[in-house]
Structure formats: structure tokens, C-alpha cells
Amino acid sequence: MSGVSLSESPSPRRVCIFCGSSFGTNPVYRDAAESFARLLAENGIAVVYGGASVGLMGAVADAALAAGGEVIGVLPRSMMAREIGHSGLTELHLVETLHERKAMMAELSGAFVALPGGWGTFEEMFEALSWAQIGLHRKPCALLNTDGFYDALLSFLETAVTAGFVRPESSALLLSDSDPAILLNRLRGYVAPVYDRWSGNAV
């Protein structure tokens, strides 16, 4: 997609977080989201997210801000009009469409992390992962797998590899861990796999 940066960094200065606009049924989801947001702030890493004040999205923003971190939101104007926009962010960019939102979040960020969420979270992460697969960026994509939330998805992705629809080399494009600190270390140490995206051959 036009506007998606190819830049990469062994230690991203901004991390894009995709997560739910609700809290989910288990308090551990909110606890982990807040823990990860605080960890980023304490390490001088800014949060880029969808700009809302509700659910895990709001919890991430509030936790990072409370820890002295920078939080950048990107929100469609139509959602701001419904009064779900966060009013206390470091920066809030208002855009016209969801496509513009995702493109700007990608441009501003050096890594992508999905926390528990729903359709929107899944769609955003898989688009970022697809961009990585075809070489539009070399930024790490990761799942914070709180309480096994993504276990079934990870198992299904292994099925997709076995069935021949995802190249084995592409599996290295997606990181996953349940521990926020370990996941952050993996983001910092990430090196994008180098291979021919179309043939699968190493280059």
C-alpha cells in the first residue's frame, strides 16, 4: 500500500497496537494490555493506536500516558463524532476513512502488536502481516498471546503452512509470546527474514 514505510529498526521507537474496543470477559486481558503499555512507556517507546477511549484501546492509552509515555492516536472523524475519541493523547490525527487510518498508523510505527480483540484487530494485524510478506515493509508483527487467546489462531496458521497456502519462511514474519517483556525483547531483536516472497527461495 502506498505510504507504508520500508524502514526497519532493531529497536522500534514507536509500536502500533491493535486491540479490542471492549475489555473482554477476563480481567487478565486488561491487566496485560496495561502492563505492555507501561513497559513501552518506561522504555521510551511511543504507542500508536486507533485513538479511541473505550475498551482495551482506552486502557492502553491511559496506562502509557500515566507512565509518562507518548501516545499517538489515529481516528476516523465519524468515530470522533460519536464521542469515542480519546481527549488526552499526545497527538490525535483525524482521518476520513479506515484505509487512511491504517496507512497512517503503519507509516508512524516501527512494529505492530495485536492484543486480544475482535474483527477489526484481526483484520488490521493480518493486513500488516500481508504487507510484510510481499515486502512492503520489514517491521516486526507480533501477537501478545494473553492467557492463550491466540493459541487456536496460531494452530490454524500452522495448518495453513502444512496445506501449502503459507510458505514456511513466512512463519518467521509473525512473533508471539504471552509475556510482555519477552515480546518487547523479541521486537527489539527482530531481523526480517530475507527470501524471495514469490518463490520462497532464500536470497
**Res. 193: pLDDT tops 90:** no
**Res. 180: pLDDT tops 80:** yes
Which whole number is the average pLDDT over 172-187? 96
Strands (E), the chain: 14-18, 46-49, 71-76, 91-95, 111-114, 141-144, 174-177
HSE value, Cβ hemisphere, 13 Å, CA-based, for 26: 10
pLDDT-derived band at 23 (thresholds 50, 70, 90) equals very high
Q: State residue 3 phi and psi, 5-degree precision.
A: 95, -10
In whole numbers, what is the pLDDT of the chain averaged over residues?
A: 91
In sequence order, the 6+-apart residues with CB closer than 8 A to the CB of 78 are none
Which whole number is the average pLDDT over 174-188? 97
Return the minimum-mean-pLDDT range out of 9-18, 103-112, 151-160, 193-202. Answer: 193-202
Return the minimum-mean-pLDDT range out of 10-24, 52-66, 174-188. Answer: 10-24
C-alpha cell of 91?
497527538
Determine the residue type at 96. Answer: E
pTM above 0.85, yes or no: yes
**Res. 10: pLDDT tops 60:** no
Give the integer Cα–Cα distance in Å for 126 and 109: 16
pLDDT the model gives residue 6 = 52
- What fold does the segment set 14-188 form as a domain? Rossmann fold (3.40.50)
C-alpha cell of 186?
523479541
Domain layout of the chain by residue ranges: 14-188
Which whole number is the average pLDDT over 83-103? 93
pLDDT the model gives residue 203 = 36
